[in-house]
Amino acid sequence: MTTAAVPRGNGEEARPDGRSPRSVLGKVGLILSAFGDGDLTLSLTELTARTGVAKATVHRLCQELVACEMLERDGSDYRLGLLLYSIGLRAPRQRTLRHAARPALENLAQALDSPVSLSVPNGSDLLCIDNAGRHRNRAGASIGGRLLQLHSTAPGKLTLALLPDQYPLARLAPHMRRMTARTLTADRLPGELVRIQEQGYATDCEEHRLGYSAVAVPVRGPRDGAYLGALSVVAPTARQNVPRTLAALRTASEAVTTRLSVIEAYRTEP
């Protein structure tokens, strides 16, 4: 984590000291990030409780956000506006990586008959930016734009292991919750992260959802080998073949890095 922020998108304030930011922009950020993955709409009361900002201020800012199409009204409630989605798609890092990874995601999903996701570090969170495939049992990949659990998913644990300075466990531990009986506890997670660093990939065996397992490998930059994100496959535990999945993931990851290299070379041509 680059700041002392707590995980967003879970209904908690973005400031660990419980104080509301003084700037208007900071308060707007709290309002927009108050919407979690399962929140289609939020009431004024819910937004006030989640942000810690005065109700009158939340109401005034929401009206302004509706006027500029960043929020929409749904009766007396509010929902995120399409303008935010449109702006997000223009983010250069996300757009370039998605463009480079899309063919690999589609080929991998078809070859393994399993859902595939691409996730990237985003401040104190891990954000799914693209996905492909759906298994016949209706198991789907993580939805684009969704924040992933760091401690209970394969891409999340991979990110924790490879970016320890950005995601210190001391900040994460108080917010960890057990998703299943197999979810690693705070005392077991450090040893798991060491193993991930050594082996270069992460697995999740029903730690996030019973009956399903996942494998994740890093996607690295073509110049410096920096960790850009996680490429992951989820499948029913009964049919998850880790060696086969891992080999396919590594091939796909290398293909993404190669495409990124070509894109960068094309852009730098005179």
SS (H, E, C) 71-112: EEEECCEEEECHHHHHHHHCCHHHHHHHHHHHHHHHHHHHHH
Residues 135 and 261 in one domain: yes
The CA distance from 85 to 88, in Å, is 5
The CA distance from 223 to 263, in Å, is 12
Whether the predicted model's global pTM rises above the 0.85 cut: no
User: CATH no. for residue 81?
Assistant: 1.10.10.10
The CA distance from 126 to 219, in Å, is 14
Residues 66 and 182 in one domain: no
Residue 172 lies in a domain: yes
Residue 10 lies in a domain: no
Strands 212-220 and 227-236: antiparallel
Residues 162 and 249 in one domain: yes
Residues 104 and 187 in one domain: yes
The reported pLDDT for the residue numbered 87 is 75
Residues 235 and 157 in one domain: yes
Kind plus residue range of the DSSP H or E element containing 253:
helix 242-268
CB distance 20 to 53 below 8 Å: yes
Per-residue pLDDT of the chain (270 residues; tens, 9 = 90+): 333 333 443 333 344 344 557 799 999 999 998 887 678 899 999 999 999 999 999 999 999 999 998 999 999 999 988 888 677 666 666 678 888 999 999 999 999 999 999 999 987 889 898 999 864 444 444 445 678 889 999 999 999 999 999 999 888 888 888 999 999 999 999 999 999 999 999 999 999 999 999 999 999 999 899 999 999 999 999 989 999 999 999 999 999 999 999 987 776 555
Residue 104 lies in a domain: yes
Residues 240 and 114 in one domain: yes
Residues 189 and 251 in one domain: yes
Q: End of a domain among 87, 106, 138?
A: 87
The reported pLDDT for the residue numbered 33 is 86
- Residue holding tokens 């996680």? 230
Residues 250 and 143 in one domain: yes
Residues 98 and 81 in one domain: no
The reported pLDDT for the residue numbered 61 is 95
The reported pLDDT for the residue numbered 37 is 66
Residues 155 and 40 in one domain: no
Residue 232 sits in which domain range? 91-268
Residues 68 and 102 in one domain: no
- Residue holding tokens 């999903």? 109
The reported pLDDT for the residue numbered 9 is 38
Residues 37 and 125 in one domain: no
Residue 6 lies in a domain: no
The CA distance from 81 to 97, in Å, is 24
* Residues composing the chain: 270
